[in-house]
Amino acid sequence: MCHARRNKAHAFHSGNVVYIFHTVETFSAIFYIFLTDLLYKKSVLFSGTILFFNNELKANQLIGLFMITNDLFKYKNRV
């Protein structure tokens, strides 16, 4: 399980990183932390690949794949 406290969210770095979340709820909660960190601290979040799986399925049964790059957050420099 991937855990992140709100005050540590900005510590995630950019790069070729894979983040694995075991439930959609965990993904949504942590992604919300990343977004609020971006909006209020205007910091770079991360780039990489986010995978999330359903706990009821085997780990190799991928449900969702999201590509997130810094390009999606370029507006942060205009905020």
Q: How would you write the pLDDT of the chain (79 residues) with one tens digit per residue? A: 444 444 343 344 444 445 555 556 666 666 666 666 555 555 544 455 555 444 444 444 444 444 444 444 454 444 4
The Cα 48–Cα 2 span in angstroms is: 15
Give domain status of residue 42, yes or no: yes
SS3 64: strand
Q: What residue spans of the chain are helical by DSSP H?
A: 24-41
Give domain status of residue 57, yes or no: yes
Question: Which residue range is the domain that position 48 belongs to?
Answer: 6-78
Answer for the pair 35, 6: CB distance below 8 angstroms, yes or no.
no
Q: What's the pLDDT score for residue 31?
A: 64
Answer for the pair 50, 27: CB distance below 8 angstroms, yes or no.
yes
The model carries a pTM of 0.27
Q: What's the pLDDT score for residue 28?
A: 63
When divided into structural domains, the chain yields a total of 1
